[in-house]
């Protein structure tokens, strides 16, 4: 009888090199640790050096390899310096994970005290720039490196807000819809112009508790779900908020050789939220 070979596509990620933007956020940090456990060398990218060093130290404690890349994703010169630093250390970059993003209260309409009509330009601009330009620019800088090598993976972060605009979060919803469209566009552009071994996909997380949305979903004093949080849970068939490791498994799949024929996909990781019709 022929021997059945076991398949572990994640093992083939070992030795590859990834850059993760937003690397010390709740989801970004979890992604960095999951990559390191899979044997990936990780460039952890973000603005605050001390927080990057904490992630690097945690990876090193698990005998992984990582490099802190202090950088603002809205600054092309700093992104180019980060590319130079990681290629000097590890030789090249195989994967770009665009976890930088988020929202803030003054880009969120909460009538009657915070009307849409009164939201300041600065708040709206922040959410738009961070989520859209904070993805475009890393894709330009690290994507050019991949185009030159004719291989690589780009993984963007979309949202449930890209499927249907969520009440309250006006700028964030519009920005994440743009990321879904951009992911599809870039997947075609990279494959046709620079080689089919360059893949571009995105994850669309359901509702995970992060520093940006915690104030909307849970009560500050009790930690219990707010009215909005309860509504979300009622519309999530699995009845819970996501945990970072839920997203990590999908991330590893999309970067792995198991997904070599998958590009231009936006994969929901949402406990069924996007499938639920409300009745």
Span 164-206, pLDDT tens digits: 888 889 999 999 999 999 999 999 999 999 999 999 999 999 9
Q: What are phi and psi of 213, to 5 degrees?
A: -110, -5
Mark whether 99 is an active-site residue: no
The residue from 99, 163, 172, 194 that is catalytic is 172
Span 79-133, pLDDT tens digits: 999 999 999 999 999 999 999 999 988 999 989 999 999 999 999 999 999 999 9
Span 18-59, pLDDT tens digits: 999 999 999 999 999 999 999 999 999 999 999 999 999 999
The verdict on pTM exceeding 0.75 is: yes
The domain segmentation of the chain, as residue ranges, is: 15-272
Span 123-149, pLDDT tens digits: 999 999 999 999 999 999 999 999 999
| Count of other CB atoms within 10 angstroms of residue 61 | 8
15-272 classified as CATH 3.40.50.720: yes
Span 247-258, pLDDT tens digits: 999 999 999 999
Distance CA 257, CA 261 (A): 9
Please give the C-alpha separations between residue 52 and each of 28, 42, 49, 67, 126, in angstroms, as whole numbers: 11, 11, 5, 9, 22
Distance CA 159, CA 274 (A): 10
- Contact in structure between 32 and 59 (CB atoms under 8 Å): yes
- Percentage, residues of the chain above pLDDT 70: 95
Please state the separation of Cα 275 from the chain's center in Å.
21
């Amino acid at each position: 009888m022929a021997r059945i070979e076991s398949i572990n596509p994640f093992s083939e990620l070992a030795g590859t090199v990834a850059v993760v933007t937003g690397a010390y956020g709740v989801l970004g940090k979890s992604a960095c640790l999951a990559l390191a456990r899979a044997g990936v060398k990780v460039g952890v990218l973000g603005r605050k050096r001390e927080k990057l060093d904490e992630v690097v130290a945690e990876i090193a404690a698990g005998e992984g390899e990582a490099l802190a890349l202090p950088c603002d994703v809205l600054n092309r010169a700093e992104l180019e310096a980060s590319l130079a630093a990681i290629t000097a250390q590890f030789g090249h970059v195989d994967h770009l994970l665009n976890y930088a993003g988020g929202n803030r209260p003054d880009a969120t309409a909460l009538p009657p005290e915070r009307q849409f009509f009164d939201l300041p330009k600065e708040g709206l601009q922040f959410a738009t720039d961070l989520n859209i330009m904070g993805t475009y620019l890393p894709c330009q800088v690290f994507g050019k490196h991949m185009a030159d090598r004719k291989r690589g993976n780009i993984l963007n972060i979309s949202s449930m807000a890209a499927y249907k605009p969520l009440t309250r979060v006006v700028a964030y919803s519009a920005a994440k819809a743009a990321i879904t469209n951009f992911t599809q566009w870039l997947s075609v552009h990279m494959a046709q112009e620079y080689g089919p071994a360059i893949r571009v996909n995105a994850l669309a997380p359901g509702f995970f508790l992060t520093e940006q949305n915690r104030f909307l979903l849970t009560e500050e004093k009790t930690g219990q779900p707010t009215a909005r949080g309860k509504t979300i849970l009622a519309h999530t068939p699995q009845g819970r908020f996501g945990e970072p490791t839920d997203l990590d498994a999908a991330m590893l799949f999309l970067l792995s050789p198991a997904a070599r024929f998958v590009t231009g996909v936006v994969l929901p990781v949402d406990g069924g939220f996007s499938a639920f019709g409300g009745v």
